[in-house]
């Protein structure tokens, strides 16, 4: 038996925390973003227009590999950030801001769309939503050095792309959780409500909810 759930959302929304919590609750396995450093990142930050395509192709390759590894596994599998987000949010943001050329974007999309047709999608995508002020506050509180340069305008661009993507995504059921209104980390009753929503959205697929 396999149940594959992907957790989506903007930087700072709490994907890793929710991934860990849900996997533990369901007796499953969390899959986090790969720790292997992108060998193009240093070049990308030095010259974004020159290296954006190379950097995003590396991320796409890693995400395709991660997705395939999950599909070969068994049990309840909860993924922190999906294959689709790398392409539809982060790479698209670079393209829309002129860091990836139209020619390179067409090449990227051809590879991405072919892979999407070949790989089975998750059984459910959970989109964690938050406003930009909340994201900024959460990023400050967790105090990661590499996130200090992230500004509100960048998060706003990503949020707009996330909203468009979540509205149009049709490869799998998608459940949107407004994280500013649903306090699943502090309130067990609200977390139980989230679990019941997940069960409903899965449409009858077995989910090992706690007693």
Helical residues (DSSP H) of 78-177, grouped into ranges: 83-85, 92-96, 102-118, 132-142, 152-168
pLDDT for the residue 148: 66
pLDDT for the residue 186: 86
∠181-151-160 over CA atoms, to 5°? Answer: 55
Minimal CA–CA distance to 84: which of 135, 49, 51, 119?
119
In whole angstroms, how far apart are CA 136 and each of 40, 41, 87, 105, 177?
27, 23, 23, 29, 18
Superfamily covering domain 2-201: P-loop containing nucleotide triphosphate hydrolases (3.40.50.300)
Active site residues: 80
Q: Strands 124-129, 2-9: parallel, antiparallel or unpaired by DSSP?
A: parallel
pLDDT for the residue 71: 97
pLDDT for the residue 203: 80
pTM: 0.91
pLDDT for the residue 35: 58
Under-50 pLDDT residues of the chain? 211
pLDDT for the residue 149: 65
Structure tokens at 175: 């459940």
pLDDT for the residue 204: 65
Give the DSSP H or E segment for 195: helix 188-201
């Amino acid at each position: 038996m396999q149940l594959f759930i992907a957790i989506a959302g903007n930087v700072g929304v709490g994907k890793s925390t929710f991934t860990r919590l849900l996997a533990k609750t369901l007796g499953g396995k969390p899959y986090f973003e790969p720790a292997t450093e992108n060998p193009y990142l240093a070049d990308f930050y030095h010259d974004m227009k020159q290296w954006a395509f190379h950097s995003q192709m590396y991320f796409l390759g890693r995400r395709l590999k991660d997705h395939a590894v999950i599909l070969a596994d068994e049990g309840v599998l909860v993924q922190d950030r999906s294959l689709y987000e790398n392409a539809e949010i982060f790479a698209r943001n670079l393209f829309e801001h002129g860091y990836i050329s139209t020619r390179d974007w067409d090449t990227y999309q051809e590879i991405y769309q072919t892979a999407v047709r070949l790989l089975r999608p998750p059984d459910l995508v959970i989109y964690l939503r938050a406003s930009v002020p909340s994201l900024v506050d959460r990023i400050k509180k967790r105090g990661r050095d590499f996130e200090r340069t992230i500004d509100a305008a960048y998060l706003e661009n990503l949020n707009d792309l996330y909203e468009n993507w979540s509205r149009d995504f049709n490869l799998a059921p998608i459940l949107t959780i407004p994280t500013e209104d649903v306090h699943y980390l502090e309130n067990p009753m609200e977390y139980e409500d989230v679990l019941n929503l997940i069960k409903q959205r899965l449409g009858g697929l077995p989910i090992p909810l706690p007693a």
